[in-house]
Structure 1
Amino acid sequence: MNPKTLYGYTVLLAGFLTIAFFTSYSEETPNEAPLSDFGATTLPQTIQSVRLDKSFDFAGEPLPMDNFDVRERLDRELSVNAYWHSSTLLNLKSSTRYFPVIEKILKENGVPDDFKYLAVAESSLRNARSPAGAKGFWQFMKNTGAAYGLEINSEVDERFHLEKATRAACQYLKDYKEKYGSWTLAAAAYNMGGTRLSKELEAQGSDSYYDLNLNEETNRYIFRIVAIKEVLSHPQSFGFYLDNDDFFEPLNDYQTIKVEGSIERLADFAAKYGVSYRMLKVYNPWLISSKLTNPKGKTYEIRLPKKKF
């Protein structure tokens, strides 16, 4: 048999064996169950590109959506937050507990309502702690928090006091707004620091955030806040459906106990009022120790839930 004929038979045999193998495999593989068989255990989703055919603004200041770079940077942050399911879902649930508190203080201090979404960007509405030492909903560093009137020591850390920290954040942001002339630049300064932002503004010869080339985090910062605002304001447009009882309840059913002396053991203090140590800490996260010695004789207001847990 000549070599060409032998080669032809070899190719035909290989093709036959390949077809036989895959035919046998497909016959032995069970058919996939239809989606309807999974019932309530499935989380159906449709992956689509986010829509950018509208105007967007931050604190009443419009984004220049005719700039392709601006559109693409916003597209990135909208996509991340729309499809970052667990984080966005928990932010939605937490919003009913904390937004009313934050909104009231922002309004009282003349700060745009959109800054509540800055708190989401900073901490996901949690008393977070960063590796750099920033703490609380508004992620104050120790020196900055103290400069804006927050008490910070080994027993009390008011960066974890939502109302007091929000008032401090309002003043901080208003100072930056006065310095830079826009809420957008005030937010950028909040993220990267005023000194660094001033240097970049001078070096780059621009007074528009959208024309600046900043560090990676601050380059994304405003777009991230706008994306969070968009998703949390219109959750169903992004596929998030929650019932009323899915949202976290406000922590507003409490009594306030004024303390002017010291408390040797906060556990005993909680037990005296019939609540657990855990609930004492949940309602007063600014109490960071197991005691309150109060050496300066200050008056503290400690909240205790009326409902006993």
Structure 2
Amino acid sequence: MVVLKDKILNFHPDTLYVARKDVNLEKEERIEEALDILEGWVKKQTHFAKKDFSRDYLERTLITAKGLVERAKVRIDKLCTFKTLMPDLYPSSVSRTDYEVLEKYLNHAHLPTLTKDHYRVYLLQLNADDFSSSVVNTYYRYIVVTSEYLKIHDYNCGFIVALDFRNINILNVVAKCTPMELRQIVTLMTEGYSMRIKQIHIITASKMVDALLALFRQVLSSKLAKRITLHKNLDTFYEYVPKDILPIEYNGTERSLKKLNEEFIAELTSEEFVKYFEEMYKANTDESCRPSDKFNEQYVGMPGSFRALSVD
């Protein structure tokens, strides 16, 4: 059995097998056959700027597409296209100084240890709410960079998103997050990076939480909206995410959330990953080479900066 290893992400001994088996890809010959099909298909896409995705990249795409080759094709196409549709969310490179502004307002990280169900937990703790819209945009770009890292380094059976709003005024946050921009980042995460969000947890005792839920209902699918669980304190949150994988400030045994974030930043700004990200930044589309009927069929109505496109 192959045991996965990564510099900042941990896995259970059987995570690779379980992730593959979960989508009926536990047989090596089935995976290789599907990857051969995907590789051949990518090379034939005249509107793709990049045609040499690694097989590791393609396999993770296949897993998040539930093992379905046709769905994986759509996900690859969408992610490349979103890089053209949403240029404001994509920095051309990555630098440590890019995200220093976030330190005042939040601590966050994808937790190193998976749950027993092989879910990856993303935990966001907001500590101040006097931020500007530019800070929100910086945060979105950080999420994009992190997603690019997870796309090539992580294996899981889904994500748990935990949002801790106990230290801030929810109305101030709602006022700074426009539905259109939030919809863009959610669409990019779920339909571009194919993140399978299994649970969403909101931790707050605020009576203004209904305003936050109203915002989320504008941007989330009805399926995702139904996966939101509210917690007035951590006691009920522990019923979903066990203490032992949580940071010390959440009464867990893991390193602090700030420390975990620093480790992530260090890896995201490493020479190796910066080079990789700069390469993937160019993996967009040339829409003049795509039949216009195909673009209209798949992408009209999608959130994005269509002004940046030139479709013949």
Which TM-score applies when normalising by structure 2? 0.26
Which TM-score applies when normalising by structure 1? 0.26
